[in-house]
Chains A and B, each alone.
Chain A
Amino acid sequence: MSEIEFRDAIKQALDEELARDERVVFFGEDVAAAGGVFAVTGGLQEAHGPRRVFDTPISELAIAGAAFGAAVTGLRPVVEIMFGDFLHLPMDSLVNQSAKYWFISNEQASVPLVVRSAVGAGGRFGAIHSQMPVPWFQGVPGIKIVCPATPRDAKGLLKAAIRDDNPVLFLEHKRLYSMKGPAGEPGEVLPIGKAEVVRPGDDLTIATAMKSVHDALAAAEELQGDGVSAEVVDLKTLRPLDLATVRESVVRTNRLLVVEEGPHTGGWSGAVLGQLAEDALEHLDDVWRLTTADAPIPYSPPLEDAFLPTAERIVASVRERLGLAAPSNPVTSTV
């Protein structure tokens, strides 16, 4: 199967959907002529023309507000909010207009819009360009939150998001943009709201999303050496959460670790645990979370490294929780 880079997968999804449906338009800051600050969207304006792909002022509220107004009157806008950290600026329109309109209008019109945004830490961007905005939107009924971990999913899920009749927040982890992975089938559209077991195991389920999926896979590999067989579930969509897939997994493994790149308090990992406690308590021998601290993300490399839920920290956390002795090459970080 051919390989594709995560950023190109996103560009292809936009390109194909712009070509497929003339109602799709794409706009944002520096996205058109310059091709985006993460070099994701170059060439789209040339391919689809300046009426369909265009640059906007630095006006996030106008971007989201215009996308809303256009979405309920015939277009299918895709907009880019450059960094997830800027999402609170358009938040009013997203939360109070887009998320509620279909319901309060008694279903007169849906709101088919996609907000793409680059998120996540590990790039030394500091406290205000590294955040994970999921918890800010987690409690807002009416918005879907899609969080791909691989190029294939990025493409197939973005295509699905553009075809979805609801507002979708499509989050792209900055550390994944240059990642290569197998491409999907041509034209493939993947289901939003469906998790996947990406590594089977018997002793423990690790459920997570985005970059942390790769950390969890690396950790599972390492834990194999300890005789621990870890199953990894890639959640892919954080609202709605596919708890059925997680439940099915923990019914077999009886242990659940949820890894969330984001603060301990108010995060989605707590929602996963809470729901499983309600639904599957009899199957659970142990459940816990590995998150970041309830503190802003620090800039300095040693501080940021210690802050994030890396593969080493996942391994250390599992060993500690399962009461396994540290191996001969000790892992330094502990929870």
Chain B
Amino acid sequence: MSRNKRAVAEAVARGDREPEPLELYRQMLLIRRFEEAVQRLFQRGEVHGTTHLYSGQEAGAVGVCSVLREGDRVAGTYRGHGHALALGVDPQALMDELLGRATGVCAGRAGSMNIVDLAHGLIGCFGIVGGSIAAATGAALALERQGLDNVAVAFFGEGTANQAYFAECLNFAQVLRLPVVFVCENNRYMEFTPIEDVTAGSIRARAEVLGLLATTVDGMDVRAVRAAAATAVEHARSGAGPAFVETLTYRFVGHSRSDPGHYRKPGELDEMLERDPLKIARAWLLDSGEASEEELDAAEAWAAARIDEVTERALAAPFPAPDAGAREYKESFAA
């Protein structure tokens, strides 16, 4: 048994979260239904500004978060609804936030791109490309200095590998041997520009050359992501330093609300829809006998009903009253 496999086995023995396979499917379904609802609500003018959906990428957040334990920290991106939900952020509080309601997870102050829920380990979703990498690096520093047996995870897109934050933080984390896992979700496009048009060489190689444990994995298969994440997280948790995981994935919807969509290669979307992480998981659950058709249908019905309920309640939730202080010229500092 390799050092890492043994570490994982030990982690499982210690009682780290080991979800039922069906539970992974349920979480992915919940995210997909959530994002579909957000899309509808955006079109109705209930979600404002802009929003970046996670549809198609669910196996990434669900697979990675499934190997985390109490006290671990996660930094997500402006495409962060999936990161938040996979971590266990309350879908109601999240939806209420997107609708700008007082009951939102940040009371309507943050909006889709900037969600923070520390109680669930979410350091934040960061609107600046690369911000998540810095936040997780710092969280890992805190965890390590506090002597805790926890790791931090940064989610970010492949386009972010060209940002200064990426080069600086990976090196910083490696020289300090910080317990951080960098998860690069490669969905092939930055906003509308194909990644190969603006990226030299391989992104994983940039991590490898710094000596990080680095791997690339099928990001549409939640089992594969989970296995790769388990190895990476255990590496970081063991004190061996940071690890890097690249998930090969695809987003089924536009980058954000203003996406022209012309940039996709012909046939690519249809081809990738065949590799829908929900389809793959469903087939695997059935084939392996982990779940029956009835159980899978029940999961579908549960997710749909849950999101319907969340949507309805969010629409009925109150808006925040403008803070009198917001109109005064008083400084917003913590007391």
Contacts and interface: CB of A to CB of B under 8 A. Distances in A.
B39 interface: no
Given A58-B198, A125-B111, A302-B321, 15 more contacts: A29-B193, A35-B260, A59-B164, A60-B164, A123-B49, A126-B49, A126-B111, A127-B110, A294-B329, A294-B330, A294-B332, A295-B326, A298-B326, A299-B49, A300-B109
The CB with the most chain B CB atoms within 10 A, among A85, A295, A306, is that of: A295
A227 B100 CA distance: 39
Size band of the interface chain A makes with B: 35 or more
A173 to B, nearest CB: 15
A291 B325 CA distance: 13
Interface in A286-303: 291, 293-296, 298-303
B320 to A, nearest CB: 5
Nearest to A305: B322
A306 B193 contact: no
Given A125-B50, A299-B114, A300-B100, A293 B329 contact: yes
Size band of the interface chain B makes with A: 35 or more
B93 to A, nearest CB: 14
B114 A33 contact: no
A59 B190 CA distance: 12
A177 to B, nearest CB: 11
B161 to A, nearest CB: 9
7 contacts: A38-B258, A57-B198, A85-B127, A89-B163, A129-B113, A300-B109, A305-B322
Given A58-B160, A298-B109, A306 B322 contact: yes
B128 A34 contact: no
Contacts of B319: 300-302
A293 B330 contact: yes
Contacts of B49: 123-126, 129, 299
A59 B160 CA distance: 8
B162 A306 contact: no
Interface string A117-157: 00000011111110000000000000000000000000000
B48 A301 contact: yes
Contact of A37 (B101, B108, B127, B258): B258
Contacts of B325: 293, 295
Contacts of B198: 55-58
A274 B251 CA distance: 52
A34 B48 contact: no
B312 interface: no
Nearest to A88: B128
Given A55-B198, A89-B164, A307 B114 contact: no
Question: Which 3 interchain pairs have the tightest Cβ spacing?
Answer: A299-B111, A300-B108, A306-B322
Interface string A51-73: 00001111111000000000000
Contact of B48 (A60, A124, A334): A124
B159 interface: yes
A35 B261 CA distance: 12
A124 B197 contact: no
A7 B281 CA distance: 45
Contacts of B256: 37
B145 interface: no
A299 B48 contact: yes
Nearest to A128: B127
Nearest to B159: A58
A30 interface: yes
B128 A85 contact: yes
B70 interface: no
Contacts of A35: 260
B129 interface: yes
Contact of A293 (B159, B160, B164, B328): B328
Interface string B323-335: 1011111111000
A275 interface: no
A335 B162 contact: no
A277 B197 CA distance: 54
A57 B331 CA distance: 37
